[in-house]
A and B are shown apart, each in its own frame.
Chain A
């Protein structure tokens, strides 16, 4: 049920159709129930009407006959008539009878003497001298001074009235015959609204219809069953004739010899139900009004449901597509479950948007994969102690460099560096914890810990170094400054978690190990190496070749830590370099065992090897100092680092 021009959704249609069909069903059921009740009541009314009609009919026949009797009696009192009767002259009598018959508008009039012999009969002129055909009527008239009966004569039914001719004692009988024809039936119908058919039946011969108010067609219709009817004295019932229902009742109105005359009274059910037609119209009208109201009402309700749902669905599609929309205020204003749903959806959408923003941010600070994983696993970013490899990567002397560049160019330069660095960190699945001005702090092993965290950290550091050198060549070509990067890496147990307030949280790590990594980064400058890693990191990544740089005592720490420079994988290092490294490590060993001369000799031998100049210079300086002022017994071969 879709009205043209109405925007309708499937749900809306279904709701409307459901309600309309439901109402239609209810109304149809009601309509038919009422119709049934009406019909039943009408039927019983009709039956009652018919019974009353039959009583009326009988009474009418009686009255009719009574009137005819009285009229006939009056007529026979006419003196001239009595004179004519007593004249004994048949022709005179016959003409007088004809005259009086016409006065009363009868069909026939007969004079019968006291011996039941017909004196004259206008209906049967040649019956003079014959016995009167209905002596029982005269007997009844002798008893009652009058009688009346219905008799069949030659295919016609008559009401025959017999009264005496009084002078003042009866001197003869007069039989007045009134034909019962269609006109009489119509007269009767006018009074009791029933169709009347006068039927006669003689013995077993077929019943005859003498008079009726029925149409010729209906007359033929009833002919089929009146024979049966004739065998039952009074019979009623409902019959269907030519598709029309009739309630009928038969009444015996006279019976003599082997003859029976009866009347069939009937009423069309359709006529009986006609008064209820207007009621049906009213019912249909009410049904139509109810249907219309329910149609528009259910459409309105459906729209109230489906519109917000559609809006929500659209919003959901938008959210799925990555856009964040607010559900229409109209939907949320609704003060029902739909409104609740809209509000909840809106909150969800906002939550998703928040999360997306977070993911974006996370994507900026961590590798997208990690961010994805973080989000997917819904990791609780609570505080916990865990082993993390922390990396600090810093552009060396960037602050000084900035003084020679405009702020804009400085920032451009910085970002080019950070972009390279970040890319590599992302590649090795490190998480950028923060940008520290001209550097980057990255985590490997937080928030998600993996076995190869230290290895990835070191490989990332080596890669950063390579990339920064490439960048340096690019920048050199552009005529721009191209500083180097120092990277410090340390693996240690730290506290990881969200730091800050509920509105502004920052996931980071805290602990000595973090500070140590920062120290290592700054040490790259002293040793003029790109990467410095701690002992823990080195032990966790055994597959690489390291150069031990030193054993340093950091400020505030009692224990000295050994620091190393990762050089690369074993197969990447050529034999000469390995030999040099071996010599170097022997020299340092000698130095720690206070064999200054041996150490100095070895260092001097390799000091011109590439990358060894600075470390050799540092150790040779140590040796020079210790030769003049040897360290005390507690010296563990470390160098106390007091500067940052």
Chain B
């Protein structure tokens, strides 16, 4: 387990440092059995048999805009701090009853003074107690190598040191039934990983018409 690090380094500095030091990449492609891309899926790789180089842990921020959490899906390394700035004129009461992180910030506006520490890996589902339709998913992983699929179902994992990896797929709503894919990466390797999303998908934003069409119930 990583120790929680309090790191306030800017996002782009970290990215630069990583890409400069490591060269291996994983190109993940997540699609449905029908070949349609699956967006907002998380892909993360765990280095096996070697210690992960210590890197600064990035904070994440999930804003509340128009009674929606933005972004809907976030991935964070364990130990990351989660900011929950309220951009709406109304207050929100953000909570999570997920075992990975249970917390509650009672009705507030603006930026809460204390960010939430995501100390345990696992899925944290955020809700607002006074707006039942608000939902956000945060996957807390104990690896710094993760990515989120874009609208084409692609996720790029960069700056991976050479070694053996287990690549996991995650989808909001706790669908982690797929076994991880194992692969070996040399320095500067670029490996393609394909996931076929076979399991049932939970709606990402239940009962909200503004969300992209659900892939299932």
Residues of A at the B interface (CB closer than 8 Å) are: 77, 79, 82-83, 85-86, 143, 166-169, 171
Q: A143-B217, A168-B125 are in contact. Are A77 and B132 (CB under 8 A)?
A: yes
A sample of 16 more A-B contacts (CB under 8 A), given A79-B129, A83-B97, is A79-B93, A79-B95, A85-B97, A86-B97, A86-B102, A143-B217, A167-B95, A167-B96, A167-B97, A167-B98, A167-B125, A167-B127, A168-B128, A169-B202, A171-B97, A171-B98
Instruction: State whether the Cβ of B134 lies closer than 8 Å to any Cβ in chain A.
Output: yes
Distance from B216 Cβ to chain A, minimum over Cβ atoms (Å): 11
With the chains together, A77 CA to B93 CA distance in Å?
13
Report whether A166 and B127 are in contact in the complex, using a CB–CB cutoff of 8 Å.
yes
Return A84 CB to nearest CB of chain B, in Å: 10
Pick the contact of B127: A83, A85, A143, A168 (CB < 8 A). Answer: A168
- Whether a CB of chain A sits under 8 angstroms from the CB of B173 is yes
In the assembled complex, which residues on chain A have CB atoms less than 8 Å from the CB atom of B98?
Answer: 167, 171
Q: Is B135 an interface residue (CB 8 A)?
A: yes
Task: Give Cα A163–Cα B140 distance, bound, in whole angstroms.
Answer: 28
- B93-136 CB mask vs A (1 if < 8 Å, else 0) is 10111100010100000000000000000000101110011110
User: Shortest distance in angstroms between B80's beta carbon and chain A's nearest beta carbon?
Assistant: 21
Residue among B95, B104, B174 with the highest chain A CB neighbour number at 10 A: B95
Contacts of A166 in B (CB 8 A): 127, 132
Residues of B contacting A82 in the complex (Cβ-Cβ under 8 angstroms): 97
Chain A residue at minimum C-beta to C-beta distance from B172: A169
A171: nearest residue on chain B (CB-CB)? B97
B residues less than 8 Å from A77 (CB atoms): 132
What are 24 residue pairs bridging A and B, where the CB atoms are less than 8 Å apart in the complex?
A: A77-B132, A79-B93, A79-B129, A82-B97, A83-B97, A83-B104, A143-B217, A166-B132, A167-B95, A167-B96, A167-B97, A167-B98, A167-B125, A167-B127, A168-B125, A168-B128, A168-B132, A168-B135, A168-B206, A169-B135, A169-B173, A169-B202, A171-B97, A171-B98
A143 CA / B202 CA spacing, docked (Å) = 11
In this complex, what residue of A is CB-closest to B131? A168
Alpha-carbon separation in the docked complex, A86 to B125 (Å): 13
B128 CB contacts on chain A under 8 angstroms = 168
Contact residues in B for A167 (Cβ distance below 8 Å)? 95-98, 125, 127
A169 to B99, CA, bound (A): 13
Closest-by-CB residue of A relative to B128 is A168
Inter-chain CA distance A517–B98, complex, in Å, is: 169
State in angstroms the CA–CA spacing of A86 and B124 once bound together: 13
Measured between C-beta atoms, what is the minimum distance from B139 to chain A in Å? 13
Residues of A within 8 A of B217 (CB): 143
Interface residues of B in 40-98 (CB under 8 A from A): 93, 95-98
B59: min CB distance to chain A, Å: 23
| Nearest-neighbor residue (CB-CB) of A88 within chain B | B99
Which residues does chain A contribute within 8 Å of B96, judged by CB atoms? 167
Say whether B134 contacts A168, CB under 8 Å: yes
Q: How far is the CB of A530 from chain B (nearest CB, A)?
A: 160
Chain A residue numbers with a CB within 8 Å of B93 are 79
Q: How far is the CA of A79 from the CA of B135 in the complex (A)?
A: 15
Closest CB-CB distance, B69 to chain A, in whole Å?
Answer: 10
Q: Which residues of B contact A86 (CB under 8 A)?
A: 97, 102
Docked pose: A168 CA to B127 CA in angstroms: 5
Query: Is the Cβ of A169 less than 8 Å from the Cβ of B95?
Result: no
Neighbouring B residues of A143 by C-beta, 8 Å: 217
Please name all residues of chain B whose beta carbon is closer than 8 Å to the beta carbon of A169 when the two chains form the complex.
Answer: 125, 135, 173-174, 202
Residues from chain B with a CB closer than 8 A to the CB of A79 are 93, 95, 129
How far does the Cβ of B42 sit from chain A's closest Cβ, in whole Å? Answer: 16
Top 4 nearest A-B pairs by Cβ distance? Answer: A168-B127, A86-B97, A167-B97, A168-B135
Give chain A nearest CB distance to B86 CB in angstroms: 17
Closest partner residue, chain B, to A145 (CB atom):
B206
Instruction: Report the nearest B residue to A143, measured CB to CB.
Output: B217
Residue of A with least CB distance to B137: A169
CB-CB under 8 A from B133, the residues of chain A are 168
- Docked Cα-Cα span, A171 to B123, in Å, equals 12
- Give CA–CA (A17, B164) in the complex, Å: 121
Q: A143 CA to B127 CA in the complex, in Å?
A: 21
Residues of B within 8 A of A171 (CB): 97-98
Assembly CA distance A171 to B128 (angstroms): 15
Query: Which residue of B has the minimal Cβ distance to A86?
Result: B97
CA distance A73 to B149 in the complex (A): 34
Please indicate the chain A residues that have their CB under 8 angstroms from the CB of B127 in the complex.
166-168
Q: B126 → chain A, closest Cβ, in Å?
A: 8
- What distance in Å separates the Cβ of B169 from its nearest Cβ neighbour in chain A? 18
Question: Complex formed: what's the CA distance from A167 to B97 in Å?
Answer: 6
| A83 to B127 alpha-carbon distance, docked (Å) | 13
Assembled-state Cα–Cα distance A85/B98 (Å): 11
In the bound complex, what is the Cα–Cα distance between A169 and B125 (angstroms)?
A: 7
| Complex alpha-carbon distance, A143 and B200, angstroms | 12
Contacts of B132 in A (CB 8 A): 77, 166, 168
Q: For residue B123, which residue of chain A has the nearest CB?
A: A169
* A143–B95 alpha-carbon span in the complex (Å): 25
Once bound together, how far apart are the Cα atoms of A169 and B97, in whole Å?
Answer: 10
CB distance from A218 to the nearest CB of B (A): 47
A89 to B149, CA, bound (A): 38
Residues of A with C-beta under 8 A to B202: 169
Q: Nearest-CB distance from A327 to chain B (Å)?
A: 107
Name the residue among A83, A85, A167, A169 with the largest chain B CB count within 10 angstroms.
Answer: A169
B190, chain A: closest CB distance, angstroms: 35
Q: How far is the CB of B211 from chain A (nearest CB, A)?
A: 13
A85 / chain B contacts, CB cutoff of 8 Å: 97
Cα–Cα, bound, A302→B13 (Å): 130
* A77 CA / B95 CA spacing, docked (Å): 13
B200 (CB) vs chain A CBs: closest residue: A142
A168 to B131, CA, bound (A): 10
Minimum CB–CB distance for A150 against chain B, Å: 25
Q: Which residue of B lies closest to A172 (CB)?
A: B97
Q: Find chain A residues with CB under 8 A from B104 CB.
A: 83
The residues of B that contact A168 with a CB separation of less than 8 Å are: 125, 127-128, 132-135, 206
Query: A481 vs B149: C-alpha distance in the bound complex, in angstroms?
Result: 182
The answer for the CA separation of A166 and B174 in the assembled complex, in Å, is 14
A47 to chain B, nearest CB (A): 42
> How far apart are A184's CB and chain B's nearest CB, in angstroms?
30
Shortest CB distance A43–B (Å): 49
Residues of A with C-beta under 8 A to B206: 168
| Chain A, residue nearest B207 (CB) | A145
Minimum C-beta distance from A153 to chain B (A): 29
Give, as a whole number of angstroms, the nearest-CB distance from A171 to chain B. Answer: 6
Q: Give the docked Cα–Cα distance between A471 and B96 (Å).
A: 168
Cα A183 to Cα B202 with chains together (Å): 41
Contacts of B173 in A (CB 8 A): 169
> Which B residues are CB-close (under 8 A) to A83?
97, 104
A143 CA / B125 CA spacing, docked (Å): 20
**B129: nearest chain-A partner, CB-CB:** A79
A161 CB, nearest partner CB in chain B, Å: 18
